[in-house]
Structure 1
């Protein structure tokens, strides 16, 4: 009995040491990626296939967000060898019908439904709003991250449409979805050795829930005529600066118009800036 107790104690102690080492490794990984992100000077957001010209240009840029289903592995590898950080696009709060392999695995419980039991469809993107509280849906997304991000050796995952929680859901439903998003991001960190996580929009989600686990957030349409004199936007810029100082979360902005004034505003707050004259259409290398 004494031997058995000793063995059990040894196993527990070993497990504790292993967990501590894993935790420390994840923390070091997070610190390292945050330092690299802080040094980013230029970045691109591109969601289509590559070619030799694009591949060479990717290797000259500090960070590129890509669609890993579309972009060929050889261009990802080449860019990373030259020091480019590559983040892979994963649609978090919407399911795209074009991604048939993932879409075909969805169950009814995975779709968000309003008080009348109706799904929310986005015709512009041919996608549906999803329910992050669905454990089955979270499982599918984690498997997608394993397949598209981890196995392909990308530096991090970029979670799109996080902002849908605050933009489209009734206020009394937002807390449950935000908590589920936090749980999902924690699961990414736990399962994939502290994999770097970024999110698109969802400023309140970031401030109240996810900031300690998110390495950068994207602000689309950071165009001077939209945000330059808007009180809510200016207050949000100050809040994001505070979040960056506290959690190390970098802010990536994308301007759609008035490149010079928009870039100057971004630089004022030490935000990263990318100009996209095509707006939120990222299937053309610009």
Structure 2
């Protein structure tokens, strides 16, 4: 779940929470990399945000009204807009054109140092923990597979340094046997849905594919006793309702939003 290379949108003050077609289905997870009003964000189990958009006192307020307030950080890539980009740009290993970001080289000794410094800065603001993105890059078919052990050591180091903070891993199912002791939950994107970057199309995933993915995730959750979160993508009420119907067969906490994750969605119409 990469951050878009866009100017952050200021969320209109009239939007205080996701507008859902059925209040019974209110999400317990909120993911937003744009600016929003902390006063109006209440009752979530997980709030995942872009650290630079919020002051320390705003984070404190968010923590009073929500359970886990987490800061986004990528352990696999760096965007040219990131505050630590200049420190790492000469140590990257190629570009991810889908997200206009660059692959990190965790084998370079300076890269983990820069990331740990960034993490300290973020957590000193008062966040409850971190949302660790781009973990899939280190899986068998990922562009950073050769750095897999380096990633595991980095996650282990983060947990050892911050044992009382919550770590949520984004995807990387096959890495769970190695990371399970250092993370508190795992998040999967697009289990029920299948956004197409080629034609910018929101759609449901083929049912057989959805059921297979769901089976594997349920097995993982049961085997390792790790809580699972889901993020699905929609741009209209019909698709939103179809996603809700699919997710009703699970007990997983979820968030449904637009692909850029820059604002709280409105699926009321």
Name the TM-score class by shorter chain: 0.7 to 0.9
Residues 14-52 of structure 1, C-alpha deviation per residue, up to 9 Å, x if partnerless? xxxxxxxxxxxxxxxxxxxxxxxxxx96111011223xx
Q: 1:210 corresponds to which residue?
A: 179
User: 1:230 & 1:129 partners in 2: Cα distance?
Assistant: 32
- Provide the TM-score with structure 1 as the length reference: 0.71
SS in 2 for 1:281: coil
| Structure 1 contact 220–253 (Cα < 8 Å) conserved | yes
Structure 1 residue 244, shift from structure 2 partner: 2.0
User: Higher Cα Rg: structure 1 or 2?
Assistant: 1
Measured on the aligned residues, the alpha-carbon RMSD in Å equals 2.4
1:1-286 pair list within 5 angstroms = 42-50=28-36, 54-99=37-82, 101-106=83-88, 108=90, 110-112=91-93, 119=94, 121-148=95-122, 150-166=123-139, 169=142, 174=145, 176-206=146-176, 208-224=177-193, 226-227=204-205, 229-231=207-209, 233-257=210-234, 258-276=239-257, 278=258, 280-286=259-265
Which 4+ residue blocks in structure 1 deviate beyond 4 angstroms? Answer: none
User: 2:28 & 2:169 partners in 1: Cα distance?
Assistant: 18
Aligned CA distance change for structure 1 residues 95 and 239 (closer, same or farther; 3 Å) = same
Structure 1 residue 107, shift from structure 2 partner: 6.3
Asked which structure has the greater RCO (Cα within 8 Å, sep 6+), the reply is 2
Aligned CA distance change for structure 1 residues 239 and 124 (closer, same or farther; 3 Å) = closer
Q: 2:5 corresponds to which residue?
A: none
User: 1:180 & 1:243 partners in 2: Cα distance?
Assistant: 23
| Structure 2 contact 191–213 (Cα < 8 Å) conserved | no
Aligned CA distance change for structure 1 residues 168 and 283 (closer, same or farther; 3 Å) = farther
Q: Which runs of 5+ in 1 are unaligned?
A: 1-39, 113-118
Give the stretch that moved more between structures: 236-245 or 76-85. 236-245
Residues 223-255 of structure 1, C-alpha deviation per residue, up to 9 Å, x if partnerless? 355445234x43332232233234332221122
Structure 1 residue 135, shift from structure 2 partner: 2.7
User: 2:174 & 2:204 partners in 1: Cα distance?
Assistant: 19
How many equivalent residue pairs?
Answer: 227
Aligned CA distance change for structure 1 residues 169 and 274 (closer, same or farther; 3 Å) = closer
- Provide the TM-score with structure 2 as the length reference: 0.75
| Structure 1 contact 211–243 (Cα < 8 Å) conserved | no
Residues 200-224 of structure 1, C-alpha deviation per residue, up to 9 Å, x if partnerless? 2222223x42223222222222335
